Structure formats: structure tokens, C-alpha cells
Structure 1
Amino acid sequence: MTESEQKWNLMNRRSFLKKSGKAFLGLIASGTMMGTYSYKIERFWYQIKEVRLIVKNLPQVFEGWKIVQFSDVHLGFHYGIDDFKKVVKMINKLKPDIIFFTGDLIQLGNKQPELAIPLLKELNALCGGKWAVIGNHDFYTKNDVIKVFQSADFKVLDNSHDYIEHSQQRLYIAGIDDVMYGDPDIGKAVEGVPDDSCMMLLAHEPDIADESSKYPIATQFSGHSHGGQVRIPFLGPIIRQDFEKKYVEGYYQVGESKMGLYVNRGIGTTDLPVRFFCRPEVTVFQFGL
């Protein structure tokens, strides 16, 4: 190899190393920026999602009523009371007639769920009250979490139902125990509700919808999935859990009855304290016929 060829190869190697170094540093910078964004920004960039909800057998007196659903706060997992205050203010500004909470108030291991009572008590539902079921993270302190909600004027449904009455018409709300660790019983929850009634179901884990669609339920409201928390374009959700493999986020029609199912992306996070292309969600439903 001539001296000029050796110099040329040396220049090429230096150029390659320089470009590779810049690319490597660029990747590190991009990764750092993405990590900062997903941890510090998107986790708290709440989306208010509006959904026009067409409901079977809805009594006309409830048309135009507004439901607000929130879910999966996971207090104690990189998320505290001060963070939750913003969500409570956001919900109250929406002036809901009914509030649904669909499980996982706390992160597993949080032994002070009572700290949430003052904020939960601040939530206002103008006409139809506040309703809740527990989730898989709530389950091991189930009784404590139920007492927290009851102290904040929520009706907690545990394989049971109740109703909202307005102008002598009734809207039934049923709820079941946690699917993952509890003893859910849909049949027991809806027992005694007239077949021609309008009934909603609160169930933390969405995939139970294949079973609940066999009952006279108009719409199921669920959480649990967090929408996947991290969503990669063209690949979809990355973080998947049991009982949310099929229904991940948004609105579905399930089974032969075409029962409505809505899966809320939740407020907090679990496993990893990040969100990417998957903002936390508060859902506003406007009833229609």
C-alpha cells in the first residue's frame, strides 16, 4: 500500500469514528430527552376525552346527563396527593352528573389510602352520585380502600348493584369484585334488576367483557390497562397485563349483544413511571338514546 493510500485510509477511519461518535452521542441525547419527556411531562399531561355514549334502554329523563370516569390513580407509585389535586379540580370543572371510578386508587404496598379521603370528598357529582369498584392493586387492602371511598361519599359496588332514580325512572349501576385476585360474580351483581332496565357495569379489568356481554348490560366501564402506558407507532402498546390483552383503550362493542365497553387509560402508572404516546385520561360521557 502506497503512502498516499495509507493516509487516505487513516482519514476515512478518523471520519468514520467521528461520525459514529456523533451518532452515539445523538442517541444518548435522544434517549435522555425521551426519558425526561415520558417521566416528567407526558405522565402529567392529562387528556379530557369526550365520548357521545348511545345507551340501550336509557330512560329519556337521563338523556344529556354527563358521566365522568377516572381510573388507576396508583397513589404511592411516583404519584402523590399533590399530583392528584390537579385531577380533582379538572373533574369538578366538568360538572359531572355522575362520577365513576374503576379501580386501583393506590399502588400495591401503599398502607395509607386514607390520605386520599379529603380529595375524594371534594369531588362533586350533581345528580347521580359517585360510584366505585376496587382494582387488583387495591385488593390486598380491600377493606381499607372501601372505607376510604365510603368516607368520601362513594357508593362502592362489590358484586352488587344500586340505582339512580330521577322523575320516577331508574338507571341501574352494577359493579364486581376484582377479576384478577377477587371473586367476581356478575350474576350476583345484576340479580334482581328487571330485564328491560338500563344497566351499567363497573369492572376494573376490561377482558371480563366477553362474559358480561352475556348479561343484560348496556355498557361496561373499565380501566386496568393504562392504555399500554408506552405505545410505539405501528407496534401499539408495550406494557400489557393480564385481563387486558384483548381490550386496551377506547370504545368497543362486545359479543352478540354488542354491549358497549369503554376502557379508560387511567391517571397514574405502574411497573414503570413513564408514559409515551399514551397520555393519562379523564373521560366525559354524554348520554344519548
Structure 2
Amino acid sequence: MIRWILFFVFVALIEIYAFQTVKTVFRVRWVQYAYIAISLFILLYIVYQFTQFDRSIGQNKTTLFTLGLLLITYLPKMVITVVMFGEDVVRVIDGLMKEFLGNSNESFLPERRKFVSQLALGLAAIPFLSLLYGMTKGKYNFKVIKQTILFPDLPDAFDGMTITQISDIHSGSFDNPEEIEHAIDLINQQNSDLILFTGDIVNTHATEMHPWIDTFKRIKSAPMGKYSVLGNHDYGEYVTWPSQADKQKNFEDIKDLHRQIGFNLMLNENVKLEKDGQQITLIGVENWGEGFKQAGDLGKAAIGTSAKDFKILMSHDPSHWEYEVKDSPNHYQLTLSGHTHGLQFGVEIPGVIKWSPVQYRYKQWAGLYENLGRYVYVNRGFGFHAYPGRVGIWPEITVLELKKA
């Protein structure tokens, strides 16, 4: 109950400031009434949908839309509130100065300035248009990002080897088959030696992937194979199940999805990749994340390997690299992760800036990171989750080239 009270107080504050801004800029009454009606309708719809959330179902397209509507409505209004609150601080200081100087003939608080309200609306348009673009276009704005990594101990036969990595499919969020087909075409156009998928094939339920199986089966075979691991969403941890048996059945069905789309699912195990009589080791662990499910067993997955072997590790959550992998005496040269999505929101200008709020939670959140010659690459994600869009952090298809240093 207290949370709902705080929520409505917060919303009321934002709505009062937003309405004051509209009222200052638009003097026509019908515009003001229309604004009130639309705002009230949106608020009631959001509250209703949140009260109808079913933990036995979890996220679906309705909850995605609701969260998107919440963000696109209230983030701009929060910007307005900050600007208008700042104006109120100036107005109060001005009023106090008038009282102190004895100018009592004037109103204590001067009227709101139309320019400030116009400025507030202009600034609010930035997150509004950005979020709108992210929900309509940005979520399918697939980017092929290429990265070359140098290794002194890479076997000569693998010099120039290419890897295409995708991560975080979240098939239950998709709503545009043509865009997904286009993304699969982009994957196939890379003609990589090895294709790797680093987890989260669904949001929760195996059935989410059923409409997309034929689409993802189109990913062409690679000379060195197609391999995958599980992510935190693949364990069905975020919904309430009728029974443990139902949860386990869903988990087994999710694991089988990988077979159905032609990927070899690796569950705490490794495989030798051979070329011209030389080998590298591909290792796949189950999900291990700080604050998330820790089913990954690196020791078990690496059985039969030594520090001298060249190893590529697939581990969904990059915090695994931070806490267990980067300083391991077994020397994992390259780790491939995903999980963060770059929060699906941020600013990236190559060579200039790379920022997202997710960086305050994860040290490694997008792109390539290095520690003492050991690397982790964090894929920004193929799909989307929670917020049904992407702003600034676009869906990614990674192509890594391994070169002998």
C-alpha cells in the first residue's frame, strides 16, 4: 500500500508540473482539456495493466507495450518537472527578495515565463522522440560490429579465424518477421568459420521460440560448427510455475530448442576444434552471474584443458569473467558474453563516447575488454526485453577475427 501511495504522490507531482507547462504554452482551453483526458486515460491504463500482471505468464507483448508506454509518457514529463521545479526555485527566491526589499505591491511569485515552459517542452521532446524511435525502428536496427583481436599464443592454423556471435535472442519479444529474416541474412553474409550463441533464447517459455524455429534454422552451417550456451532467462526463474515438474519440463524444452535450430548446446563442457593438425578448445558453461543464477561450473567445463591450451569460453553473463575467469590460472584467452543488452539505452559514438546507465552495474557491458592479455567481448544483444525498443545501443551481430600477434 505504501508503495502505491508513494507512486501516486510522485505521479501527481509530475502531472501537476507537466500540466502547468502545457497551460502556460497553450492558452486554448480545449487543448488543456484534451491533455488532461489523454494523460488520465494513459495513467489508468498503466495502473490497470500492472494490477493485471500474471506471474505465471511473465512478460508478454502487453507488458512490453505497457512498460514502453510508461517510459515514453513519464520520462519526458520528468524532464519537464526538473526544468519547472528549477523555475519555481528561482521564483521563490525572487519573491523572497521582493519581500525583503519591501516590494509588497507585487505578487509574491511572478508568473511562469512562457519561454521556460517552451524550453521544458523542447527538452522533453528529446527523450520522447528517442524512445518512440527506439520502439518503432531502433529495436530492429541491427548492426554488424567487427573486431580484430591479437593473440601471441594463437595456433598458426587458426590465424585469421572468424567468429560470428549473437546473444540474447529473447524470441518472445519479437513482432516483425521481416526484420528478423533480415537479421538472419546478415548473419549468413558473414561466412564465418564458427557461429556462437551466448544465451537467452526466450524470455521465459519454450513456446515463445516456436514461431521462429524455421527462421533461425536458416543460419547456415559453419566450417567449425554452431555452438550455444544458456542464459539466465532460459531457466524459467522469473515466473511462478504450477509445479516443479512444469518448470523442469519447460527447461528441457528450452534446451531442445537449440537442437531444433541447429546449434550444439554446451552444458559445462568443452570441445576441441581442429584445423591442419592443430587445436583450440571451445568451452561452454551454464549461466553464472553475480546476483543471478549460478549453474555454471568452470572447473567441470574445462576438464582436460591446461593453461597452455588456447581457449575460447562462452559464458552468458560478463560478471563471470570479472569474478572467476580473468584471473584464473587456467588462462582463458577469450571469453564471449552478452546479458547486459547495454540496457538498450545509451550513447555510442566510436572513438568519442560510450555510455549507458548499465555501466554502473557492470564493469564490462558492451564491446571488448582486456586484462593481462585475456579478453572478454560483451555482445549488445540480438533481441530486446522489458523496454520494447533500443535507443543508442543497437542490436548487434558480432564478427570477431582472431589474429596471431
Q: Distance in 2 between matches of 1:268 and 1:240?
A: 19
Within a 5 Å distance, the mapping from 1:205-244 to structure 2 comes to: 205-210=317-322, 211-213=324-326, 214=328, 215-231=330-346, 236-239=355-358
5+ long unaligned stretches in structure 2: 1-105, 237-249
Partner of residue 167 from structure 1, selected from 249, 267, 276: 276
Within a 5 Å distance, the mapping from 1:247-258 to structure 2 comes to: 247-254=364-371, 257-258=372-373
TM-score, with structure 2 as normaliser: 0.62
Contact 1:232/1:238, CA 8 A, preserved across alignment: no
Task: After superposition, give the CA deviation of every residue in 1:116-154 in whole Å (9 maximum; x if it has no partner).
Answer: 322222112431110100101112243222211112221
Contact 2:147/2:400, CA 8 A, preserved across alignment: yes
Task: After superposition, give the CA deviation of every residue in 1:247-272 in whole Å (9 maximum; x if it has no partner).
Answer: 11111113xx5311111111122221
Task: After superposition, give the CA deviation of every residue in 1:1-26 in whole Å (9 maximum; x if it has no partner).
Answer: xxxxxxxx99xx78x55434533443
Higher strand share: 1
Q: Distance in 1 between matches of 2:210 and 2:157?
A: 36
Within a 5 Å distance, the mapping from 1:81-160 to structure 2 comes to: 81-109=177-205, 111-140=207-236, 141-160=250-269
Partner of 1:50: 146
Worse-matched range after superposition: 168-177 or 48-57: 48-57
Partner of 2:133: 37
Higher helix share: 2
Partner of 1:6: none
Q: Distance in 1 between matches of 2:125 and 2:306?
A: 61
Shift of the alpha carbon at 1:27? 4.2
Partner of residue 187 from structure 1, selected from 299, 307, 311: 299
5+ long unaligned stretches in structure 1: 1-8
SS in 2 for 1:164: strand
Partner of 2:387: 272
Tell me how large the CA RMSD over aligned residues is: 2.6
Worse-matched range after superposition: 37-46 or 113-122: 113-122
Shift of the alpha carbon at 1:182? 4.3
User: Which aligned segments of 4 or more residues in structure 1 are displaced greater than 6 angstroms?
Assistant: none
Partner of residue 246 from structure 1, selected from 351, 363, 369: 363
Contact 1:133/1:157, CA 8 A, preserved across alignment: yes
Q: Name the aligned partner's letter for residue 276 of structure 1.
A: V
Partner of 1:3: none
Contact 2:162/2:402, CA 8 A, preserved across alignment: yes
Contact 1:97/1:129, CA 8 A, preserved across alignment: yes
Q: CA 1:224–1:285 in 2, change beyond 3 Å: closer, same or farther?
A: same
Q: Distance in 1 between matches of 2:362 and 2:174?
A: 25
